[in-house]
Structure 1
Amino acid sequence: MSGSQKKRFFAQHAKSSAALVSLGIHAILLVVALSFVAVTVITKEEQKFETKNVNRPRMPMKKLQVPVNIKKKKTQKPKLRKRIVVQPKLNQNMPDIKMPEITGVKGGIGGGVGDGLGGGGGVGFSMPEIEIFGVKSKGEKIFVILDSTAWMMYDEIGGIPAYTVIKEELVNILGGLSPTVLFNIAVFDNGSAVSRFPKMVPANSVNVGAVDEWIRSLNAVKKGMGDKDYGNHTLGSGGTRLPREYTVAPLQHTRHWSTPAMLAMEQQADTVFILTQGWGWQFHETADAKQWSESKMAKWRDLQEQAKQKLKEENEERRKKGEPPRVLIGWSLVSAYFPGAEHPPQPERYWYTPKEMLEGLSSHREANKSNVPTTSGLGKRSQKKEKFSINVIHFVRKDHISEKDQDRFKKLTAIANGSYKTLSGLEAIQSSASGR
């Protein structure tokens, strides 16, 4: 078809073409409108639904029951059997068993293992108790110190008969201890100190019997007793002589009861009993005595000789009556027969305080501490120092008591976890003895 023919065709069908164009435009608008509606429907918000709690019935759970058949056992009536009863023999001689140095076992092996096994937690037994003349203490390593100086035999304290009661009481007390308890005993006088055993031993009948035999002749009352039949030289056979003195800071030296007390610390005693008449020579000299005139000294010597003669005559009369001699020494010898006589001047002295005495004893104890463990390792080991107690039975005169000595002993026992008691005269000693 040529170009002229095309023009004539559109000219002839002009209205038809316009209708087609209009129809196409409307079709497009219809599609757009439908698309807008579809998009609008799709982008609507979602509807939210709320749920309601519905109570549903629940079935209770049943316990599982398992049938158990219990068969009743037939009990038989007990049959009587014959039993042989043997009464134990008392006071049997126990063998002298050498025991190691065990400082932590409280109450012995059989008497109580409580604080010893493990320190902090033991089986629960308590430590053994001991009571001497009413003074009570506890311990499983006991050291007894007995004064045998002349002053202990003075009539005002009770004389030699009172000393016999003291010895008997000690043997009685030691005999009542458990054989598992360790002990030792020492005797001192003005010039020496002797212990019965070189170390702690069990308190069995054999060792207690050895003590009884050892001190039986000590200051013993006997027929025809001499004026000087007292002191350590009257002890029986056996014993270990102690050093004359110890030098342990702050103490320059020890005398009387403090010397055996040092041995007690060496042997790690946890309970010490001191039976004495006084504080003793616990001092050191700081200056010489002042000069005394020759005339005064000559008069003093004359009074001493006269006093000795009077004492000799008095003791001869006592022997005729079967009585023990009277004991007097030093200045008290002159004062007994010549009251108010002037005494020679003394050197200047520094008396050790109770605190210094305890410091020296504690220092010596630590220096001689055994390498044997104090606990078995079953419990927590205590880091605290082992405690020990010092107890004093102070025998004093009826007519006079030294307030200084009394005050010193009270302070010492207070800071050393111990107890203190005074006894004056034979009757007081007898009434305090356990066996009387």
Structure 2
Amino acid sequence: MAGKTKKKKQFFQKHAKSSAALVSLGIHAVLIVIALSFVAVKVIQKEEQRFEAKPVNRPKMQLKKLQVPVNVKKKKVQKPKLRKRIVVQPKMNQAVPDIKMPEISGVKGGLGNAGGDGLGGAGGLGFSMPEIEVFGVKSKGEKVFIILDSSPWMMYDEMGGIPAYTVIKEELVSILGGLNPTVLFNIAVFDKHQVITRFPALVSASSSNVALVKEWLETLNATPDQSYGLRTLGDGGTRIDDGGTKYAIKPLQRTSDWSTAAMVAMEQQADSVYILTQSWGWQFHEAKDAKEWPQSKKEDYERKKREAHRKLKEDNEARVAKGLPPQVLVGHSVINKYFPGTEHPPQPERYNYSPREMYAGLVEQRKANMPDNALTSGLGRRSNKKEQSSINVIMFTPEDYDTGKDPKKQELFKQLTRYANGSFKTLAGLAAIQDSASAGGD
């Protein structure tokens, strides 16, 4: 044992440096292994860091409504003061060429006008509508249509005779001459079913066109030889003679007198219509035939008729010799003048049209002829009368006419003009016609 130990010591003594190196290497190896193991563990076991936000309780403040004291003071609205305004309608003497206006119905102002829902009307471009006044009856419109009665009843002595009719014609020409040339117009003359218009369509109110009207009307009912009616008109014009059936439209089965001419006005889309007549006329259709009259009564009536016309001719010759116009009488009036109380021949049973039915027919006629580009407005829309077209009536009556004696004659026209947003006026005799004409012309 001692020998082995001795040998070991000798071995270490001989290899002291080598042993120390080996020990050092061994220690380093152990340290390296330990270090590597430590790093590997750290890498594998290292967890990912996470950040979590902790909830923070903040105090909430309750919002309060903003209250601002406001003092509201009612302002006093002053009513507009009315100011008198003078409207001047200058006459244009220079010749103006005829102007074909675009068919725009219902436009207020401008160069065309629009029609509509009822009998036509105004829309609104901002311009004021031209105003026309006929014997004191005012209306506004850019398409004016005047209808004049030429029947002999217009010239009866109690109506003012031929002198009164002459004043009427002259006044109409003067009124047309005072219109702005941009206004469109037409004029029709009627006698029962027959109607003649001066122009086939609406034309501009130029001085040349007004001159044609003056020449056309000059000889109408002006000759002192018992000639009257449409045959006394001057040259020109478009004749409508259909027996009252051409313009028959539901609920009407026929038209007559002024209603035929009014249908033409609706066909031409007029927005301001004036009817100058002495009667409501024959606004009816026959429901049943007349009863038979005994032959003896027929012969007696025909004898009185011949004798009455002979006497009227003699009386008128005497009047003309004195420088007076002849007396105009027609029909049963001639017989009743010289043979008072003569029985009138039996008449067919009639269905008389009401003002509402007449108005409905006129509305339908306008709608049937309304252009596709027309604006809807007019007499059918009664909410704003200032912007509607109108039908106005001037009824000529005898000088001693008692308005309370037969109010129905006036009431028919009054109702029609109310439906049609128009006005109604009566003129009794020559003096009233002259006064109204001078007032309208000033």
The equivalences for 1:28-427 within 5 A come to: 91-109=93-111, 122-123=125-126, 125-221=127-223, 225-227=224-226, 229-244=227-242, 245=244, 246-374=247-375, 387-400=388-401, 402-427=406-431
Pair 288,429 (structure 1): closer, same or farther in 2 beyond 3 Å: same
Compared CA separation, residues 206 and 185, structure 1 to 2 (3 A): same
Cα deviation, 1:45-69, whole Å, max 9, x if unaligned, reads: xxxxxxxxxxxxxxxxxxxxxxxxx
Q: What residue number does 1:31 align with?
A: none
Structure 2 counterpart of 1:411, which letter? Answer: Q
Give how far 1:90 is off: 5.9
Measured in 2, the distance between the counterparts of 1:424 and 1:166 equals 13
| Conservation of the 8 A alpha-carbon contact between 1:107 and 1:181 | no
Deviations 1:302-353 (A, max 9, x none): 2211211110011111221232211111111111222222222221111100
How far did 1:186 drift?
0.4
* Separation in structure 2 between the aligned mates of residue 205 and residue 348 of structure 1, nearest angstrom: 48
- Alpha-carbon distance in structure 2 between the residues aligned to 1:198 and 1:89: 24
Take 1:424 and 1:89, find their aligned partners in 2: how far apart are those partners? 29
1:271 and 1:432, CA in 2 relative to 1: closer, same or farther beyond 3 A? Answer: same
Q: CA deviation at 1:405?
A: 2.0
The alpha carbon displacement at 1:146 in A equals: 0.4
- Following superposition, the deviation at residue 180 of structure 1 comes to 1.1
Tell whether the 8 Å contact from 2:148 to 2:188 is kept in structure 1 after alignment.
yes
Tell me how far apart the structure 1 counterparts of residues 106 and 342 of structure 2 sit (CA, whole Å).
55
- 1:66 aligned residue: none
Q: Aligned partner of 1:233: which letter?
A: R
**Structure 1 unaligned runs (5+)?**
1-87, 112-118, 376-380
TM value normalised by structure 1: 0.71
For residues 91 and 288 of structure 2, what CA distance do their matches in structure 1 show? 63
Per-residue deviation at 1:373? 4.1
SS at 1:122 equivalent: coil
**CA distances 1:263-284 after superposition (whole Å, capped 9, x unpaired):** 1101111111000010111101
CA contact (8 A) 1:255 1:281 kept: yes
CA positional deviation for 1:243: 4.4
Check whether the contact 1:423–1:429 (CA below 8 A) recurs between aligned residues: yes
1:97-133 CA-partner distances (Å, limit 9, x unpaired): 222222233234399xxxxxxx76533x321111111
Contact kept in structure 1, 2:159 and 2:429, CA below 8 Å: yes
Distance 2:370 2:309 in 1: 48
| 8 Å Cα contact 1:354-1:409 kept in structure 2 | yes
Matched to 2:149, the amino acid is D
Opposite residue 147 of structure 1, the aligned amino acid is: D
Contact 1:275 1:395 survives alignment (8 Å) = yes
Compute the displacement of 1:358 (Å): 0.5
CA–CA distance in structure 2, aligned partners of residues 89 and 435 of structure 1: 12
Match of 1:78 in 2: none
Indicate the residue corresponding to 1:23 in structure 2.
none
- What amino acid is aligned across from residue 423 of structure 1 in structure 2? L
Tell me how far apart the structure 1 counterparts of residues 374 and 112 of structure 2 sit (CA, whole Å): 19
**How many Å separate the matches in 2 of 1:267 and 1:239?**
15
How far off is 1:238 after superposition?
1.0
Aligned equivalent of 1:71: none
What is the distance in 2 between the residues matched to 1:260 and 1:157?
22
3-state DSSP of counterpart to 1:136:
strand
Q: Distance in 2 between matches of 1:409 and 1:238?
A: 31
Once residues 147 and 350 of structure 1 are traced to their aligned partners in structure 2, the CA distance between those partners, rounded to angstroms, is 23
Q: TM-score of the superposition, structure 2-length normalised? A: 0.71
Amino acid at match of 1:346: Q
Q: Cα distance, 1:167 vs. partner? A: 0.3
Whether contact under 8 Å (1:353, 1:408) holds in the other structure is yes
Identity %: 61
| CA deviations over 1:163-201 (Å, ceiling 9, x no partner) | 100000000111111111111110011351000111111
Deviates more, 1:299-308 or 1:275-284: 299-308
Q: The residue matched to 1:242 in structure 2 has which SS?
A: strand
Go from structure 1 to structure 2 and tell me whether the alpha carbon gap of 1:398 and 1:329 turns closer, same or farther (over 3 Å shift): same
SS class of match (1:285): strand
